[in-house]
Amino acid sequence: MPNGETTPNETAQLLTAPREWRRAVVERLFLLACLVAVVFGVLALLALLYGVLRDGLHRLDWEFLTSFPSRKAERAGIYSALIGTLWLMGLVTLFTVPIGIASAIYLEEFAPRNRLTSFIQINITNLAGVPSIVYGLLGLAIFVRMLEPITSGQAFGFANTSGRSVLAGSLTMSLLILPMVITACQEALRAVPQSHRQGALALGSTTWEAVRHQVLPAALPGMLTGVILGLSRAIGETAPLITIGALTYVAFIPKSPFDGFTVLPIQIFNWASRPQEAFHANAAAGILVLLVVLALFNSVAIVLRIWARRRLER
Do 122 and 9 fall within a single domain?
no
pLDDT tens digits, 241-258: 888 877 777 778 888 888
Q: What does each C-alpha distance from 49 to 117, 183, 265, 283, 287 come to in angstroms?
A: 44, 31, 17, 13, 10
Q: What is the mean pLDDT of residues 187-196?
A: 87
Q: Which of 19, 38, 58 is the last residue of a domain?
A: 58
Residues 219 and 277 in one domain: yes
| Cα Rg, the chain, nearest whole Å | 26
- pTM over 0.85, yes/no: no
- Does residue 51 sit in the same domain as residue 109? no
| Residue range 105-116: mean pLDDT, rounded | 88
Using CA atoms, how far residue 75 sits from 62, 168, 195, 252, in Å, is 12, 30, 62, 15
Instruction: Report pLDDT digits (tens) over 23-75.
Output: 777 888 899 999 999 999 899 989 988 888 888 888 888 888 888 888 887 88
Residue 127: which CATH number? 1.10.3720.10
Same domain, yes or no, for 161 and 18?
no
Q: Are 32 and 144 in the same domain?
A: no
Taking the C-alpha atoms of residue 21 and residue 71, their distance in angstroms, rounded to an integer, is 67
The pLDDT of 200-216, averaged and rounded, is: 84
Q: Are 287 and 56 in contact (CB under 8 A)?
A: yes
- Is the same domain home to 39 and 70? no
Name the packing angle between helices 166-190 and 115-127 (round to 10°): 120
Give yes or no: residues 24 and 169 share one domain: no
Range of the domain at 26: 2-58
Q: How far out from the chain centre does Cα 230 lie?
A: 2
Say yes or no: 84 and 203 in one domain.
yes
Same domain, 116 and 255: yes
Q: Are residues 74 and 175 in the same domain?
A: yes
Last residue of a domain, which of 17, 39, 58?
58
Do 298 and 187 share a domain, yes or no? yes
Q: Tell me which of 22, 41, 58 is where a domain ends.
A: 58
Please check whether residue 62 is in contact with residue 82, taking contact to mean a CB–CB distance below 8 angstroms.
Answer: no
Q: What b/e string do you get for 241-262 counting C-beta neighbours within 10 Å, with b at 16 or more?
A: bbbbbbbeebeebbeebbbbbb
- Provide the domain count of the chain: 2
| Same domain membership, residue 163 and residue 15 | no
Quick one: DSSP state of residue 77? -
